[in-house]
Structure 1
């Protein structure tokens, strides 16, 4: 099969592809080879995942969002209960780490699925009546 993203009935919704690590073309559960490492290609349909450039966007995005939530909660906790500093360390360091790592896989899959869909829309537009 070619790597051109053509729409088909077997394509999962972007939300499903992100949550379950599904191939954005065929819906097979082949997107990841590790916790947050993409496979080279889909073993079911042959889509080359390495051609998508997800980069560090998901990690930076998650650090900003999770970090903002953690800072807001830490400030609230400090103002409401005034715990010792070590309570903050015991709470917020693991919570931040787990929050970012838990959401990293979903965010990376979501971004790859979005890239796939966007190039599919661009591909359909090429060679149309507008040219």
Structure 2
């Protein structure tokens, strides 16, 4: 849960990210190294999966309930997808890093 909020999963006090998606070298509070993770593209795959499960049913329901012109939909749904992806990617990457850390995977030996 802490990693979803960008906090150090080890101590819960320090920051996990130095930038938007760049983890800190090590936690300032407990010293746990976070630059050894290998999350690679997995957070992006999870975000794509989540967006599909959020947006497709939403699009179906909106189209069934409202009569929005196709031109508006062509503008609304991609913008909404980009906004949701930007909001989800950092918490998902934090969760992947925390999962790898708890299982001592990929550099956290």
Aligned match for 2:30, one of 25, 45, 54: 45
State the partner residue of 2:60: 75
What is residue 42 of structure 2 aligned with on the other side?
A: 57
Query: Quick one: distance in 2 between partners of 1:69 and 1:25?
Result: 31
Residue 38 of structure 1, CA deviation: 1.0
Q: What is the root-mean-square deviation of aligned Cα atoms in Å?
A: 2.0
**Displacement, 1:112?**
1.0
Deviations, residues 74-111 of structure 1 (Å, cap 9, x unaligned): 23323333321122123211211111111111111111
Q: Tell whether the 8 Å contact from 1:18 to 1:113 is kept in structure 2 after alignment.
A: yes
Cα distance change of structure 1 residues 29 and 90 upon mapping to structure 2, 3 Å threshold: farther
What is the aligned counterpart of 2:18 among 27, 33, 36? 33
2:90 corresponds to 1:90: no
**Runs of 4+ with >6 A deviation:** none
- Number of corresponding residues: 106
Return the TM-score normalized by structure 1: 0.70
Structure-2 residue corresponding to 1:9: none
Note the residue ranges of structure 1 that are not aligned, 5 or more in a row: 1-14, 124-131
Mapped to 1, the partners of 2:94 and 2:75 lie a distance apart of 30
- Structure 2: runs of 5+ lacking an equivalent: none
Residue 99 (1) aligns with residue 99 (2): no
